[in-house]
Amino acid sequence: MRVKVTIRSVRPALVAVLAVVGLTTVTACSPDVLPTADGGSARTSASTPKATPTPTPTTPPVTWVTTPSPGAEGVAVDTTVSAKTRNGTLTKAALSYVSKKGVEVPVDGWLESGTWTASDLLEPGVQYTFELTAKNDDGETERAKRSFTTADLTLDDQVWTKVYPSGGTVGIGMPVIATFDLPVVDKATFEKHMVVTSTPKQTGSWYWLSDREAHWRPKAYWRPGTQVHVEANLNGVPAGGGRWGEQSVVSDFTIGRSVVAKVNLDTHLMDVYISGQKARTVPISGGRPGWETRSGIKVIMEKFTNFTMKAESIGLKEGDKDYYEDVKVKRALRITHSGEFLHSAPWSVSQQGKDNVSHGCTGMSDADSIWVYDQMRIGDVVETVGSEKPMTMGNGYADWNLSWTTWKQGSAL
């Protein structure tokens, strides 16, 4: 059977297919060129994808770095408080606490190289608050508040300090005396925080008489007119043995004129020098055999217009051969803890200048005692010679009996 084929129906279809193929080929090779109706070509705009927006740079917030960390509890009182920042510059810091009496107390400190450091250690059992200000990297101000709480301490955990003299004018032999109500185990750490300065400046050193008492003296007697400033910055300072300093103490005092009494137990005379010049020679009577007045350098510790001498205070009991009833004396200047005084002794005027008849005190007439009492003050020096019985450390202010080399060895540093 013959099949009739119609050629016209195939050709147009082939042309159409070729047209499609040609279009596809052009598009694949040259996407921006299309054929025109007259057989030429025309360039078209390329399809541009939408650009992704560039994110705007953001400045990181200030990071606050504090010691102790925010919210810390039970912070040790010997912690050094500080604050600084990252991603910015600290410009201001204010630290304060509310005392147990409800009073807000500011804490001193200093800002250096971007770090604020507190000047003092901490009070026990209180909450501290930091108020901080900084500039971020864009120069904008940021602020923050942080707080922490310190460990509570009992009185048995804290060492109370007293510094003497606490003011006024004293003599050229007066040492600075620091006493403590509990033993100081870590003497070196305490001593580092006990600072004595003077105008004019004079070299000196601390000497620990015990774990409860330390003295500071210059190499030689104080220069008259010296201004002395003492800072015992011991609040929160570790004392060792699980204890800390309870408080800081400041003292200022002045050194008066030079007054030195030179007692000679052999000649029974006392020469008093004021500003280097002999001002008076006083006939005296010192301690008799068995009750010798001590030789050495002593310092006037106390002054009494009236004082009662008791035999019990020097170890005598009723019935002892040297026992005596209470004796009231006038114008008594204490120079040892053991009971030596300069004082009026009208009962021994006939022996004064001739013999030693006392229980160890240096006695003189009423008239001489009035003059001596008026001229001498606490801290003035009494230098005694003529006895084999020496002064001993701890028996009054015996500091000047040690050489400078020995004295320095008593420091904990």
Catalytic residues: 343, 361
Q: CA 190, CA 235: separation in Å to the nearest integer? A: 10
Terminal Cα distance for the chain, rounded: 132
Q: CA 53, CA 58: separation in Å to the nearest integer? A: 15
355, HSE (Cβ side, Cα atoms, 13 Å): 8
Strand (E) positions, 191-301? Answer: 194-199, 204-210, 213-218, 227-232, 238-240, 243-245, 249-255, 259-264, 269-274, 277-283, 296-299
- Which residues neighbour 358 within 8 Å (Cβ) at sequence distance 6 or greater? 285, 286, 287, 288, 291, 293, 345, 348
Q: CA 317, CA 32: separation in Å to the nearest integer? A: 130
Contact 225, 254 (CB under 8 A): yes
What pairing do the DSSP bridges indicate for beta strands 269-274 and 176-180? unpaired
Q: What is the number of H-type helices and E-type strands within the chain?
A: 4, 30
Element (H, E) at 377: none
Phi, psi of 335 (to 5 degrees): -130, -5
Q: CA 201, CA 176: separation in Å to the nearest integer? A: 15
Residue with tokens 């007259």: 38
Contact 399, 217 (CB under 8 A): yes
What residues form DSSP beta bridges with 238? 244
Phi, psi of 367 (to 5 degrees): -65, -45
Two structure tokens written together for 239: 């004392």
Residue with tokens 């509570």: 152
